[in-house]
Amino acid sequence: MTPLPSRRALLRGAPTQAPAGDRPPWMPEVITRRTAPWSPPAPPVEPPTPPPPPPSSGTTRAQALHLARRATWGATPRLVADIRAVGAQAWVDAQLDPARIPLTADERTVLAEYPRLSMSVAAVRERYGSDTGDLGTDSIHAYTARAIWSERQLFEVMADFWTNHLVVTAPWGPAWDSVHRFQEDVVRRHALGRYADLLVAAVTHPALLKQLDNTSSTRWSPNENLGRELLELHTVGVEAGYTEADVRHSTLVLTGLTTHRQTGEAAYEPDWHHTGRLTVLDWRHANTAADGSAVVRDYLLHLARHPRTARRIATKLAVRFVGDSPPAALVDRLAAAYLAADTRIAPVLRTLFASEEFAGAGGTKTKRPFENAVSTARVLGIRPGPANRRWFDEVLWLSSLAGHKPMGWPAPNGYPDVAAAWAGAGATLGVWNLHMQQGWQSTRTDDPWVTVPPFRGLLPAALPATHGEYVDALASRLLVGPLSTAKRAAVCAFLDRTPASPLRATDAAVGWRLPYVVALLLDTPEFATR
């Protein structure tokens, strides 16, 4: 595909109408692959307008939009209407019971293309024998599909949260044979359950044991990687004031946890286990049995229930859903809810979403690049097509250029979730390029990868009368809200028009320039807001 022009180039010299019988030299060639002169497609049948919410729901449009932005992978007009119809609290309660929400047809369609995800670790090793059978890409594709098309949106957001808390890199990482099972058996099984169960499942899983080098940790040669990260990142944090002696004992607790040489599954080697009294912070154990698996479980449960762990998890949840520097009072309440519920996450989330701090935090978070890519697909209504793998690869490549691809963070601390980390020119330009590239998917007539509704369908069936109303209609559809007067005028100026300029069906704004306007609106801070 011919490189797309920059916004600056468009603003400086792009014509407002395509030359008769030709195309601008910078327009992608795919636009011209037609057997007849191009004209705007007939508008599709407009979907019925969502019914107004019942007065009893008590949820305003602004409240619904705020919740949709934070608790899902991207707001859409239909989602906001659904939240208003049932009320914010009822919607959250339903989302916290994902087993009652069926898979969508699009989810089923795409996940059926990845049957290898059901394979056991042993089966992967038996079939492939080496990392040529890496299932990381399959896992990341499924991750992307679920984020876009699942209606279990809060569950999928929490799966992302835990994936960045208990990091296993993919593809081509040390857990090439087991990362897919880590996602299914650890992250997704326990995403809304008890953190204590999630922690035990993670630390005893072959993927994390390989990721953090515990497979070769023995009483004779202990490897401190997992023992240290367990304290620093997964539980109490450095604020707990643990010492190097605590790290050493944390490591010794975990000696014996390894993987089977042939099958790659988790295993325990009693001969490798250190015996003798162990002390980590306020935890003590005689540790006299040769098989220390019970000691491991006791240690992990203690750490999961530790007040410092409660505060660490509460802080990370508040950063994800409320603000980059969340109020201490909110963190205190979330930590108390965590301990009162014996590490269950659903009660903590209920407390968070019902808080005044959450209600007052609108417009204070920024989407990371992959989140922006997913929310772009959601708001454009992209659906599976004949070449989903190719499309996923393109989206993930563009996301990685912006610095954010699922399971791609090389360090064990996970991707940062504060605006400052994503404010650089590289991340911004990467996201803008993604918007333009995905916009041109709608023009693929020669080799469509996925199903993209015609962009004309983003406008009302009856065209707005003016360019200003045209921008308002697109903003309502894409941003689920209005643009400021100044930005509205700027978009019209991009089209060499004023807000009062009449809009005709033959205007460039409705034709070849429409994908550019769509991308321009997706480039705004309003769309970048989580």
Q: What is the DSSP string of 437-454?
A: HHHGGGG--SS--SB---
Length of the chain: 530
Question: Under a CB-based contact definition with an 8 Å cutoff, are residues 175 and 125 in contact?
Answer: no
Give residues with Cβ within 8 angstroms of 303, minimum separation 6.
199, 230, 231, 234, 235, 236, 283, 309
Question: Under a CB-based contact definition with an 8 Å cutoff, are residues 372 and 528 in contact?
Answer: yes
- What local confidence, expressed as pLDDT, does residue 441 receive? 65
- What local confidence, expressed as pLDDT, does residue 442 receive? 58
3-state secondary structure of 499: coil
- What local confidence, expressed as pLDDT, does residue 452 receive? 86
- What local confidence, expressed as pLDDT, does residue 19 receive? 36
pLDDT (tens digit, 0 to 9) for every residue of the chain, 530 residues total? Answer: 434 444 333 333 333 333 333 333 333 333 222 333 333 334 344 444 454 544 457 999 999 999 999 999 999 999 999 999 999 999 999 999 999 999 999 999 999 999 999 999 999 999 998 877 889 999 999 999 999 999 999 999 999 999 999 999 999 899 999 999 999 999 999 999 999 999 999 999 999 999 999 999 999 999 999 999 999 999 999 999 999 999 999 999 999 999 999 999 999 999 999 999 999 999 999 999 999 999 999 999 999 999 999 999 999 999 999 999 999 999 999 999 999 999 999 999 999 999 999 999 999 999 999 999 999 999 999 999 999 999 999 999 999 999 999 999 999 999 999 999 999 999 999 999 999 987 776 566 666 788 888 899 999 999 999 999 999 999 999 999 999 999 999 999 999 999 999 999 999 999 999 999 999 999 999 999 99
CA–CA dist 478, 514 (Å, integer): 13
**Mind listing the pLDDT tens digit for each residue in 49-69?**
454 544 457 999 999 999 999
CA–CA dist 483, 505 (Å, integer): 23
3-state secondary structure of 19: coil
**Can you give the pTM of this predicted structure?**
0.89
